[in-house]
Amino acid sequence: MAEEAKTADEKSLELLIAQLGGSHRRGRQEASRIVAAIAKASPDAVLPYADDLVDALDRPEAQTRWQVLEALTALSAVDAQAAAAALDGAEASLFDEDSPIVRLAAFKFLAALGARSKRLSASVWPLLDEAVQCYHGDPEYRDMLVALGEFARGDVSDEVKAALVARVSFDAKSGRDYVKTMSQEIIDAVKE
């Protein structure tokens, strides 16, 4: 019975993944919402579909892209190499002019991925650095700083750590409110 249920779950996930490439916007959005939830609960379940998730970053609607980025963020915890295939799509999403939530999801994905290894931290840092400069003060900036703090606690190269400290030092000294506090927390995290 458990084996039959597993097979049914796998078939359901397969159908959802197929919907990510479907021709109907609403179907893609609904599928992406469910796939993101599955990935958060069990990242290993979506691992066989990493290429499909990367492909789904090319969909026109923001909801599909941000939820696929959430799924890829979860996937990066179990297989950073598989998730790294999404770097180009994440970069395009990071600079999406129309959707702050897509930009934030891309930033979180890149920070989570970069925290996995020194090599990946060096790959994503230029994008994170540019985004920090571009979106400083935007409504999603607080959440970006949270993701940057998690990045700082990861397996980040010494060069990236130094660049990160240099990037947030001004705000740690001269910033106000949460920007000042969180920037100092990032510096402290790097030094741990």
Q: What is the pTM of this model?
A: 0.94
Q: Supply the pLDDT for residue 163.
A: 98
Average pLDDT for residues 147-162, to the nearest whole number? Answer: 97
Tokens of 117: 């290894």
Return d(Cα 71, Cα 16) in angstroms, integer: 13
Q: Please give the average per-residue pLDDT across 87-105, as a whole number.
A: 97
Conformation bin of residue 146: beta by default, left when phi > 0, alpha when psi is -120 to 50: alpha
Query: Are 113 and 80 in contact, with CB atoms under 8 Å apart?
Result: yes
pLDDT of residue 106 exceeding 70, the answer is yes
Per-residue tokens: 79: 């297989």
The residue type at 39: A
Single-letter amino acid code for the residue at 78 = V
Tell me what the pLDDT averaged over the chain comes to. Answer: 95
The domains of the chain, with CATH numbers, are 1-84 (1.25.10), 86-192 (1.25.10.10)
Query: What confidence tens digit (pLDDT) does each residue in 20-33 have?
Result: 999 999 999 999 99
Q: Is the pLDDT of residue 3 over 60?
A: no
Range list of H helices, 21-99: 25-41, 43-46, 50-56, 62-76, 80-84, 87-94
pLDDT tens for 39-84 read 999 999 999 999 999 999 999 999 999 999 999 999 999 999 999 9
| 1 pLDDT more than 50 | no
Handedness of CA 174, 124, 112, 114 (dihedral sign): negative
